[in-house]
């Protein structure tokens, strides 16, 4: 804020304090929204606004009169407009139930008032009083077009201000950021559009904190926010974006519960990129889509080679369409080996993808894409159908394994009627589900424990069983071990790293194995690659292992041949 208090008398200070209250009112609304109390807060704020308009304007009029301020006529007109507006607003609020629309109109009103008064009018006024002459600034009173919901710059306004920046600034110091709320559709679906809009207002409130003369902040549509920052120091920008991300990561608090939020950002350093606004925006969206595809990368800076990545991504998505699955996907099996009687006990089914040129695409790449693009249900169904069909091939070859396990992803679990679906598919090929284990990762448990428990028990009713996958890979919460109805725990390969050389690693593994055994559950250790690892695991009395040391995942025919040899 301008430091003009000390230069002036006649009550301006109290106007300044009123401004602080105005800003506070706006902050309170954002804050209340974050606690799900936006609606109550708004009535209070409307009362305050009524008071403010009368008090501020009468005091200011007094100043105007005393110093004979030449811009007074224009300013009085603005006052009149405000008084009309706030009256209409309070009438509306009295008449009906307060809605999100009302919150957003108050937010917008406050925003405009703060902008016009503090930034333009009052600065001009202060300047005038100080120098006792008219300044150009005063004439500049212009209202920027704002987004009706959040009070940020509208799409159109942002575009024209960005254009100005591109013309006048040295591009080296301009950074463009496009942001989206991860899982916003899910918020709308689960909590409804009203809460969705409160989330948008809340997120805008956090973004507004970073508003200053070097930044532009706007909302394009839905949950897409844009920012342009004039700053040569890249560390500063990184710091600021980190800060924003962290605040949003704290989640939207609502009546005692928290809706988790995360902001994905695509960043364009304009010096590197193209000069045209359209290209900059496109680059932003490309970087954003990279950020959205990969878990764990919330901020991605645009690079030229991303064009290729996007192309590859869309090719993979094409290959994952329901009608192409048969052409590009197939299932391989990796033996699970019993150390006690030196026999293959079961197999894990793993999907493989091969493109038109015979290039392999790793499941680490195509599974997340299938999940993100609502294709995983069909992909999962395809995998199950293939396995059910091939289970019969195993049996016909005279191989009677204890189980074949299939990986399930969280999206499959969320789907209503998963168990029914599986039952039907098994019926079609008349396969007995007692041969099937489903592998669940711990991260699935974290998402919605009660729902998971229900689905798990439905699956057990069908005769299939559950295996807890990737144990120890980072999400480990030992409590799940006790609460999930599972009799096999698969220990992640990361726990084997350094087992031969690091005593601490050995102790961790030793005790995890003891713990699981004490709970009467079976163990599979995965990712066993070397003989020395196998020897240690024998020492530790781990019962079953899986890994390249025994065999890589193989196609059905080859794995049948291998099992025949080994058993
Ligand atoms: P996962 O379920 O943890 O699968 C184990 C991964 O470890 C497999 O990778 C397997 O090939 C690999 N692996 C096995 N033995 C060794 C070893 O000795 N050393 C090393 N370094 N790696 C070993 P893959 O096949 O690339 O699968 C990666 C992930 O993709 C799987 O992790 C699983 O989460 C997912 N996935 C694969 N198929 C499916 C599927 O049909 N459905 C779903 N939802 N996910 C799948
Ligand atoms: Ca697995
Ligand atoms: Ca695993």
Averaged over successive runs of 10 residues, the pLDDT of the chain (567 residues) comes to 35 62 79 73 75 73 65 71 78 72 78 71 60 43 73 91 80 88 87 88 90 91 94 91 93 82 92 73 91 80 87 92 96 97 96 96 94 93 96 94 94 90 94 93 74 90 93 70 84 92 93 93 96 95 96 97 94
Closest to 264 measured CA to CA, from 303, 225, 234 = 225
Determine whether the shortest distance from the Cβ of 547 to ligand 1 is under 6 A: yes
Single pTM value for the model? 0.62
Distance (Å, rounded) from C-alpha 317 to C-alpha 537? 40
Per-residue pLDDT at 30: 80
CA 257 → CA 194, 200, 252, 254, 275, distances in Å? 16, 17, 8, 5, 45
Nearest ligand to the C-alpha atom of residue 534: 1
Determine whether the shortest distance from the Cβ of 325 to ligand 1 is under 6 A: no
Are 466 and 422 in contact by the 8 Å Cβ rule? The answer is no
Determine whether the shortest distance from the Cβ of 472 to ligand 1 is under 6 A: no
In ligand 1, the atom with minimum distance to the C-alpha of 406 is 41
Handedness of CA 361, 364, 365, 371 (dihedral sign): positive
Determine whether the shortest distance from the Cβ of 76 to ligand 1 is under 6 A: no
Query: Best mutation site among 347, 367, 410 for ligand 1, i.e. most ligand atoms within 8 A of its Cβ?
Result: 367
Per-residue pLDDT at 122: 65
Are 143 and 81 in contact by the 8 Å Cβ rule? The answer is no
CA of 499 relative to ligand 1 center, distance in Å: 21
Instruction: Return the SS3 of 74.
Output: helix
Which residue has the CA at smallest separation from atom 13 of ligand 1?
527
Residues with CB under 5 A from ligand 2 (ion): 407, 439, 469
DSSP code at position 118: I
- Helix (H) or strand (E) run with residue 228 in it: strand 224-230
User: Which residues are paired to 254 by β-bridges?
Assistant: 257
In ligand 1, the atom with minimum distance to the C-alpha of 409 is 44
Per-residue pLDDT at 69: 62
Per-residue pLDDT at 3: 32
Per-residue pLDDT at 6: 39
Per-residue pLDDT at 104: 80
Instruction: Return the SS3 of 466.
Output: strand
The first and second tokens of residue 473, run together, are 């890979």
Determine whether the shortest distance from the Cβ of 375 to ligand 1 is under 6 A: no
Residue 403: CB atoms within 10 Å:
19
Per-residue pLDDT at 244: 95
Q: What are the φ/ψ torsions at residue 209 (nearest 5 degrees)?
A: -55, -25
- Please classify residue 201 by burial: count the beta carbons closer than 10 Å to its beta carbon, then call 0-12 exposed, 13-18 middle and 19+ buried: buried
* Inter-residue long-range contacts of 53-61, CB under 8 Å, 24+ positions, other chains counted: 53/79, 53/82, 53/83, 53/86, 54/83, 55/18, 56/15, 56/18, 57/82, 57/83, 59/11, 59/14, 59/15, 60/15
Query: Best mutation site among 365, 444, 526, 554 for ligand 1, i.e. most ligand atoms within 8 A of its Cβ?
Result: 526
Query: Best mutation site among 335, 365, 384, 407 for ligand 1, i.e. most ligand atoms within 8 A of its Cβ?
Result: 407
CA of 396 relative to ligand 1 center, distance in Å: 27
């Amino acid at each position: 804020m301008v430091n003009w208090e000390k230069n002036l008398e006649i009550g301006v200070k109290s106007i300044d304090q009123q401004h602080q209250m105005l800003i506070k009112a706006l902050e309170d609304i954002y804050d209340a929204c974050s606690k799900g109390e936006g609606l109550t807060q708004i009535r209070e704020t409307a009362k305050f606004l009524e008071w403010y308009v009368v008090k501020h304007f009468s005091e200011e009029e007094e100043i105007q009169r005393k110093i004979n301020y030449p811009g007074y006529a224009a300013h009085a007109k603005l006052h009149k407009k405000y008084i009309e507006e706030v009256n209409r607003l309070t009438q509306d609020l009295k008449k009906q139930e307060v809605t999100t629309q009302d919150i957003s109109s108050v937010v917008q009103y406050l925003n405009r008032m703060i902008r016009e008064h503090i930034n333009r009018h009052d600065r001009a006024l202060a300047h005038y009083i100080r120098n006792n002459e008219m300044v150009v600034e005063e004439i500049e009173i212009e209202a920027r077009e704002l987004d009706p919901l959040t009070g940020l710059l509208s799409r159109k306004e942002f575009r024209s201000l960005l254009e100005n920046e591109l013309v006048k600034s040295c591009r080296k110091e301009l950074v463009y950021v496009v942001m989206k709320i991860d899982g916003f559709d899910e918020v709308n679906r689960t909590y409804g559009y009203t809460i969705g809009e409160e989330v948008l207002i809340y997120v805008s409130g956090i973004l507004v904190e970073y508003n200053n003369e070097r930044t532009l902040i706007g909302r394009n549509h839905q949950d897409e926010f844009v920012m342009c920052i004039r700053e040569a120091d890249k560390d500063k920008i990184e710091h600021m974006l980190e800060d924003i991300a962290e605040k949003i990561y704290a989640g939207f608090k609502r009546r005692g519960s928290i809706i988790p939020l995360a902001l994905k950002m695509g960043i364009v350093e304009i010096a590197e990129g193209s000069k045209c606004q359209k290209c900059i925006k496109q680059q932003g969206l490309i970087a954003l889509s990279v950020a959205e595809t990969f878990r764990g990368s919330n901020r991605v800076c645009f690079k030229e080679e991303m064009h290729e990545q996007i192309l590859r991504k869309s090719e993979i998505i094409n290959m994952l369409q329901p009608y192409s699955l048969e052409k590009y996907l197939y299932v391989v099996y990796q033996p699970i080996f019993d150390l006690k009687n030196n026999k293959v006990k079961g197999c894990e089914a793993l999907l493989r993808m091969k493109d038109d040129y015979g290039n392999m695409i790793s499941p680490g790449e195509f599974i997340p894409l299938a999940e993100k693009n609502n294709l995983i249900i069909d992909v999962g169904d395809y995998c199950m159908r293939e396995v059910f069909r091939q289970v019969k091939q195993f049996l016909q070859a005279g191989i009677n394994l204890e189980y074949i396990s299939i990986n399930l992803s969280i999206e499959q679990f969320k789907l209503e009627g998963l168990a029914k679906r599986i039952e039907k598919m098994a019926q079609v090929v008349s396969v007995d589900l007692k041969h099937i284990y489903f592998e669940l990762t711990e991260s699935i448990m974290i998402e919605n424990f009660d729902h998971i428990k229900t689905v798990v028990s439905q699956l057990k009713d069908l005769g299939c069983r559950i295996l807890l996958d990737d144990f120890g890979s980072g999400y480990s919460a030992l409590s799940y071990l006790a609460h999930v109805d599972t009799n096999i725990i698969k220990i992640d390969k990361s726990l084997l790293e350094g087992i031969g050389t690091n005593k601490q690693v050995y102790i961790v593994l030793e005790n995890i194995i003891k713990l699981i055994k004490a709970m009467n559950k079976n163990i599979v250790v995965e990712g066993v690659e070397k003989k020395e690892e196998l020897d240690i695991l024998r020492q530790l009395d781990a019962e079953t292992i899986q890994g390249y040391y025994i065999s890589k995942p193989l196609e059905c025919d080859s794995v049948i041949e291998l099992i025949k040899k080994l058993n």
